[in-house]
């Protein structure tokens, strides 16, 4: 694998926990991780980076500590805050890949748009209750907007509202790491969409094609205007 990769990880929760553990020992040059939450006791069943002693502490500080323990020589930067339009492009500017594990759809679309504008791969995932998905977008492949079109405000429950089973986010975070590993070794999992259903014990792969009316792929999105992502930026 190439060690020249610099990876931005958005979110250090249920998806970010297994992802960060695996990326820490992948041989990448650098990891930046961003999150603004604190560790809560209710997180521990699914956010496996943390333990009882971390409850009440800054999630990003605990995540940085664990990553450094796993790989002492790794370059790590911890950013306490949210991935928002005003700073998104600066955060991406010196990274070769972004992997997203946010718990809301607005941030997922913001990551997809920012990665598209920056011309770097984006690996994304989502999980609710017993099922979820993982997706890889390359600069010349289908993007998240080809898959979901736009933020379905008020129409789809996220894990924040509906909850999620701990092992499900473990599997999806692992799938994100697997897609990242494949990129690191030079593979092209372009447009791959993985579906996981824990109740059925089913994992399947499909491919997403570019939509002709996708505003991101067609170049209609040229900037990250705040109003597109209001839900991601609300206090």
Q: In this structure, what is the dihedral angle of CA atoms 25, 29, 35, 39, given to the nearest 10 degrees? A: 30
Which residue carries 């839900």 as its tokens?
231
Instruction: Centre a 10 Å sphere on the Cβ of residue 219 and count the other Cβ atoms it contains.
Output: 10
Question: The tokens of 26 are what?
Answer: 């992948």
Instruction: Pinpoint the alpha helices (H) of 29-134.
Output: 59-70, 85-92, 105-118
Return contacts of 184-188, CB within 8 angstroms, 24+ apart.
184/1, 184/2, 184/5, 184/26, 184/27, 184/28, 185/1, 185/2, 186/2, 188/138
Of 159, 214, 217, 233, the active-site residue reads 159
Q: Any residues with CB less than 8 A from the CB of 30 and at least 6 apart, and which?
A: 5, 6, 7, 74, 75, 76, 77, 95
159 carries an active-site annotation? yes
- 3-state secondary structure (DSSP) of residue 212: coil
Active-site residues: which are they? 159
């Amino acid at each position: 694998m190439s060690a020249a990769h610099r990876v931005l990880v958005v979110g250090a929760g249920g998806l970010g926990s297994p992802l960060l553990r695996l990326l820490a020992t992948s041989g990448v040059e650098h990891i930046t991780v961003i999150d603004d939450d604190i560790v809560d006791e209710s997180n521990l069943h699914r956010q496996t980076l943390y333990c009882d002693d971390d409850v009440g502490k800054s999630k990003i500080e605990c995540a940085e500590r664990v990553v450094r323990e796993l790989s002492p020589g790794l370059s790590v930067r911890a950013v306490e805050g949210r991935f928002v339009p005003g700073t998104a492009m600066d955060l991406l500017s010196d990274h070769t890949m972004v992997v997203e594990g946010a718990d809301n759809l607005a941030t997922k679309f913001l990551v997809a748009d920012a990665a598209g504008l920056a011309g770097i791969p984006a690996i994304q995932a989502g999980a609710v209750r017993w099922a979820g998905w993982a997706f890889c977008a390359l600069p010349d492949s289908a993007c998240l907007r080809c898959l979901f079109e736009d933020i379905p405000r008020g129409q789809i429950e996220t894990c924040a509202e509906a909850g999620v089973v701990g092992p499900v986010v473990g599997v999806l975070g692992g799938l994100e790491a697997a897609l990242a590993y494949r990129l690191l070794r030079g593979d092209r999992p372009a447009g791959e969409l993985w579906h996981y259903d824990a109740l059925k014990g089913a994992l399947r792969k499909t491919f997403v094609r570019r939509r002709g009316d996708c505003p991101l792929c067609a170049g209609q999105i040229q900037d990250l205007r705040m109003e597109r992502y209001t839900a991601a930026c609300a206090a």
